């Protein structure tokens, strides 16, 4: 990791932030040295993002107690523009991008390249190309942002931050939507910034990233700073960090389960996909999915591994009746019957559920309550003659709140105010209430801390124990290896291999991908 300077570029003293009925931050302290990468870790809801919003002026001076010193000067930001003028740039977990604008327009929105008050487009496109190359995004600057997946949009957000004169870069879960290779490139970029004297605060749940690049670590738990660790002065294990984060030892990352297998627990065939081919709806000469066949048995957790752009999400969405209309060939049977998956309602009726990778945009209505979100996929069950019975709806949502341990004062809480892990549990509640036979989980633990991940894993295992079939798409190979009975490996719209859990390893999966 190398040495870093001892000058303190940022000091936050006794920061306290209160929302109605909740003390989000309780006298938090944070020091960041000049030219270091400082990791900020904690469970979802611990207060990490709130602390960074205080620092960047999203929560302005006067809305919190405590002091902030930047370059030894007391700062009092009234908004994010003030902090950016000082060189403090924050990349939020929720992307601040405009889908209908191009990549170049998004990169310099509010920071335009002007000549006498007129945008200099050649300069804008040239600078955009340079920034895209820095973050490893191979797209044209003129590409509309809405045409990109969530992973590529994250790279655009990072490039947008690089376009400004940054002295302290704050990254809130910057790699949560990225594949392993792209995450590695971003971490290398942070190390380059460090060599240039730029400081970074990295909020991440991926502990391997911390061990790779962090110079210091501050752990926040329940709104308080509980420890600060110097990575150069002491040997720090992932177990040490987890213990400080959750307040207890977590000897096992993945809950144990009797894994299903043809020899041990031959569950009934729930789902079989045969010769599945999908073409792009706007370009019939562009095939997305090529001749895919696979099956899922009762009590099985089946993984799908692959790099970003391999077609995993497109496969899941096409099976769930989304996006591709009639541009599909192939057959799917559910419980032995040929299934009509031409629309989402038909897919649900057939016994299929799909938990999207983008829970905030596609999985939830953030402005609505837990109660309303829980029953969305099965309104008939809480309705009579087309009218929702709110008493039944409340009881259903309360039952799922207890069963899935959703941490909230009541089911009347808006889901936008929940932590990422609790939001994911609400999404799971919604689809469990549709009473599916097979659940497709697309990145089910993205952006979730280790404690909440364990709870999601336990829910997945319980589903398998109850005889459900689970298809788990994940960019984290250790997660697939720790949870799945079998793993299909996908590359460029094709399945290029299948591994039993006992035979699977990260090396074998990557070998299948690169040799395809």
Could you report the per-residue pLDDT of 305-332, keeping only the tens digit for each?
Answer: 987 778 899 999 999 987 655 689 999 9
User: At residue 11, does pLDDT exceed 90?
Assistant: yes
Would you say 157 and 77 are in contact if contact means Cβ atoms under 8 Å apart?
A: no
Distance CA 132, CA 142 (A): 12
CA 441 – CA 302 distance, rounded (Å): 10
Please tell me the predicted confidence (pLDDT) of residue 137. 85
Confidence (pLDDT) at 266: 55
Residues 6+ apart with CB under 8 A from 221: 42, 43, 46, 244, 245, 246, 247
In sequence order, what are the residues at sequence separation of 6 or more whose Cβ sits closer than 8 angstroms to the Cβ of residue 247?
A: 221
Q: How many other CB atoms sit within 10 Å of the CB of residue 247? A: 12
Average pLDDT over residues 364-375: 93
What pLDDT shows up at residue 49?
A: 86
Indicate the pLDDT class of residue 134, thresholds 50, 70 and 90: confident
Provide the pLDDT confidence category of residue 251 given band limits of 50, 70 and 90: low
Q: What is the mean pLDDT of residues 270-280?
A: 93
Q: Where are the alpha helices (DSSP H) in 276-415?
A: 312-319, 344-350, 370-374, 390-403
Check residue 490 and give its pLDDT. 93
Minimal CA–CA distance to 33: which of 188, 214, 199? Answer: 199
So what's the pLDDT on residue 4? Answer: 43
Query: Residue 213: CB partners within 8 Å, gap ≥ 6?
Result: 1, 37, 187, 190, 191, 202
3-state secondary structure 421-476: HHHHHHHHHHHHCCCCCEEEEECCCCCCCHHHHHHHHHHHHHHHHCCCEEEEECCC
CA distance linking residue 460 with residue 475, whole number of Å: 17
Please state the pTM of the whole predicted model. 0.62
Q: Among residues of the chain, what percentage have pLDDT more than 90?
A: 53
Res 262: pLDDT: 46
The pLDDT of residue 476 is 81
Contact by Cβ (8 Å): 301, 485 = yes
pLDDT in tens, 159-206: 888 888 889 999 988 876 666 777 788 888 889 889 988 999 999 878
Give the Cα separation of 108 and 208 in Å (integer): 32
Distance CA(173)–CA(318), nearest Å, equals 29
Report the pLDDT value the prediction gives residue 1, as an integer from 0 to 100: 39
- At residue 264, the pLDDT reads 42
**Could you give the domains of the chain?**
8-246 (3.40.50.300), 267-351+436-516 (3.40.50.300), 362-435 (no CATH)
From residue 263, give the alpha-carbon distance in Å to each of 98, 260, 266, 276. Answer: 52, 8, 6, 28
SS3 string, 169-228, reads EEEECCCCCCCHHHHHHHHHHHHHHHHCCCEEEEECCCHHHHHHHCCEEEEEECCEEEEE
Residues 6+ apart with CB under 8 A from 379: 388
- Do 354 and 431 contact (CB within 8 A), yes or no? yes
Of 408, 386, 388, 389, the closest CA to residue 398 belongs to: 408
From residue 73, give the alpha-carbon distance in Å to each of 8, 66, 69, 86: 11, 14, 5, 11
Confidence tier at 74 by pLDDT (50, 70, 90): very high
Which comes out higher in pLDDT, residue 492 or 397? 397
More reliable by pLDDT, 246 or 456? 456
Q: Is the pLDDT of residue 109 over 70?
A: yes
Residue 21: pLDDT over 70: no
In the structure, how many helices (H) and strands (E) does the chain have? 16, 24
Question: Contact at 8 Å (CB) between 73 and 82?
Answer: no
Three-state secondary structure call for residue 64 = coil
Mutual angle of helices 450-465 and 420-432, in 10-degree steps: 10
By the 8 A CB rule, do 124 and 108 touch?
A: yes
% of the chain with per-residue pLDDT over 70: 92
Looking at residue 232, its pLDDT comes to 80
Please tell me which residue, 429 or 325, carries the higher pLDDT value. 429
Kindly state the average pLDDT of the residues 436-453. 86
């Amino acid at each position: 990791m190398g040495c870093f300077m001892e000058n303190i570029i940022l000091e936050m003293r006794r920061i306290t932030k209160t929302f109605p009925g909740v003390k989000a931050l309780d006298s938090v302290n944070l020091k960041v040295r000049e030219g270091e990468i400082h990791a900020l870790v904690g469970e979802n809801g611990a207060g990490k993002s709130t602390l960074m919003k205080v620092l960047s002026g999203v929560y302005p001076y006067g809305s919190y107690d405590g002091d902030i010193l930047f370059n030894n000067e007391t700062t009092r930001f009234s908004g994010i523009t003030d902090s950016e003028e000082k060189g403090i740039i924050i990349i939020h977990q929720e992307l601040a991008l405009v889908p209908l604008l191009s990549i170049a327009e998004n990169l310099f929105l509010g920071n335009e390249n002007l000549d006498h008050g007129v945008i200099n487009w050649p300069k804008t496109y040239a600078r955009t190309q340079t920034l895209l190359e820095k973050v490893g995004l191979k797209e044209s600057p003129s590409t509309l942002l809405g045409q990109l997946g969530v992973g590529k949009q994250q790279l655009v957000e990072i490039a947008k931050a690089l376009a400004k004169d940054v002295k302290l870069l704050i990254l809130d879960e910057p790699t949560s939507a990225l594949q392993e290779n792209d995450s590695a490139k971003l971490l290398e970029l942070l190390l380059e910034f460090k060599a240039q004297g730029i400081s970074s605060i990295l909020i991440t749940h991926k502990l391997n990233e911390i061990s790779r690049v962090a110079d210091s670590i501050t752990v926040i738990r329940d709104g308080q700073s509980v420890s600060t660790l110097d990575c150069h002065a002491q040997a720090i294990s992932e177990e040490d960090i987890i213990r400080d984060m959750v307040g207890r030892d977590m000897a096992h990352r993945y809950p144990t389960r009797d894994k299903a297998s043809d020899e041990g627990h031959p569950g009934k065939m729930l789902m079989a996909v045969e010769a599945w081919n999908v073409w792009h709806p706007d370009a019939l000469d562009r095939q997305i999915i090529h001749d895919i066949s696979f099956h899922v048995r009762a009590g099985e957790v089946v993984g799908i591994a692959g790099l970003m752009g391999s077609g995993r999400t497109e496969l899941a969405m096409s099976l769930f009746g989304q996006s591709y209309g009639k541009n599909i060939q192939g057959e799917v049977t559910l419980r032995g019957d040929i299934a009509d998956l031409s629309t989402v309602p038909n897919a649900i009726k057939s016994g299929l559920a799909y938990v999207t990778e983008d829970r905030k945009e596609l999985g939830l209505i953030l402005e609505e309550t837990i109660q309303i979100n829980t029953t969305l996929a099965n309104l008939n069950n809480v309705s009579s003659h087309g009218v929702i019975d709110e008493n039944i709806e409340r009881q259903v949502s309360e039952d799922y709140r207890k069963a899935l341990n959703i941490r909230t004062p009541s089911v009347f809480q808006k889901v936008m105010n929940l932590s990422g892990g609790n939001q994911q549990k609400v999404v799971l509640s919604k689809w469990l209430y549709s009473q599916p036979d097979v659940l497709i989980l697309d990145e089910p633990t993205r952006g979730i801390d280790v404690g909440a991940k364990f709870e999601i894993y336990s829910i997945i295992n319980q589903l398998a124990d109850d005889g459900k079939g689970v298809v788990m798409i994940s960019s984290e190979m250790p997660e697939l290896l720790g949870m799945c009975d079998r793993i299909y490996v996908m590359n460029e719209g094709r399945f290029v291999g299948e591994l039993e859990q006992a035979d699977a390893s990260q090396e074998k999966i990557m070998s299948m991908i690169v040799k395809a």
